[in-house]
Amino acid sequence: MIQVLIVEDDPMVAMLNQQFIEQIDQVKIVGNVKNVEQAMTILKEQPVDLMLLDVYLPGMTGIEFLAEMRKEKIETSVILITAADDVLTVKKAINYGVVDYLIKPFSFERFKLAYERFIDLRKITGKEKVTNQSMLDKFFLSANEREQEEQLDLPKGLSRLTLRKVAKSIEQIKQPFSTEDLANQILISRISTKKYLLFLVEIGYLTEEIEYREIGRPVTLYQSNPSFTASIERYQ
C-alpha cells in the first residue's frame, strides 16, 4: 500500500488531487493538509511514500519546504503540483529531486503518468541491492527513447513467440527446475529448450547451479533471478 500525503491550501484543488489518487489501486491517503507545518508533523510521525506538494503555500513555499525536508533527511518522494511555471522554480524543483512537476490544470492521464514515474523510481531504488539497464531505462529514458531501445535482436535460432512461451512457463514454476522439467511443460525438445535457458542465463534472467546426485549425472537447475526480471522485456 502506497502512503500518500497531499499538501495544498486550495480546498478545490486538494479535493481534485484526492479524487485523482483515489482512482489508483493500492494507495492510501494519510493526510490532506493546508500548510507545511501540518505536513512536517505527519512526515515525522509516520512513513509517507509520496507527497503531492503545492508551491504557493502559507508561511513557506513548497520549494522552501523541499529544502527543509532535505535538511531533516526526509526522503519522501515528491510530485510538485502548482501553477508556478517560471523556469527558476522548475530548476529548483529539479535540483531537489522531485519525481515530476505538474502545472495546473492537468488531466488525470497526465497525473497517472507522474504516478507511474514514481512507481518506476520506487522499483529501481527499493529493497533490491542491484538493478539493471532495462529497469533504469524505464525511468530515465523518454517514451521515444524507450521505444528505440525496445525489441532487441534475439540470438540466431530463437523466436520471440517461443521466448514468451518459455518465460510464461518459468513464471509458473516456483522451485528450481531442469531443462527436462521445462521441456515437458512447454512441449518442445530439450535441445531447443536448452538454447532458451542458456540465453536467459546470459542476460541475467535466470541463475543456474549444478546439483550432484547419488545416482546418475549431475543436473543443472535453473531459477528466476528476482533482481533481473525486467531484463527479458526488450526481447519479447
Asked whether the beta carbons of 228 and 204 are under 8 A apart, the reply is yes
Cβ atoms of 69 and 91 closer than 8 Å:
no
Rounded CA gap, 148 and 154, in Å?
Answer: 16
Query: Long-range contact list for 31-34, CB < 8 A, 24+ apart?
Result: 31/5, 31/6, 32/5, 32/6, 32/8, 33/5, 33/6, 33/7, 34/7, 34/8, 34/9, 34/58
The C-alpha cell of 224 is what? 528466476
- pLDDT > 70: what percent of the chain? 84
More confident residue, 231 or 214: 214
Kindly state whether residue 132 falls inside one of the protein's structural domains. Answer: no
Condensed to tens digits (0 to 9), the pLDDT of residues 23-69 reads: 998 999 999 999 999 999 999 999 999 999 999 898 899 999 999 99
Give the whole-angstrom CA distance, residue 19 versus residue 228: 35
Q: Would you say residue 148 lies in a domain?
A: no
Is it the case that residue 225 has pLDDT exceeding 70? yes
Q: How confident is the model at residue 174 (pLDDT cuts 50, 70, 90)?
A: confident
The confidence score (pLDDT) of residue 88 equals 82
The pLDDT value recorded for residue 156 is 84
| Contact between 78 and 33 (Cβ < 8 Å) | no
Give yes or no: residues 57 and 105 share one domain. Answer: yes
The count of structural domains within the chain is 2
> Does residue 31 form part of some domain?
yes
State the residue range of the domain holding 227: 160-235
Q: Which residue has the higher pLDDT, 87 or 70?
A: 70
Domain final residue, candidates 76, 106, 126 = 126
Residue 146, burial from CB neighbour count under 10 angstroms (0-12, 13-18, 19+): middle
Q: What is the pLDDT of residue 137?
A: 57
CATH number for the domain that contains residue 169: 1.10.10.10
Same domain, 118 and 174: no
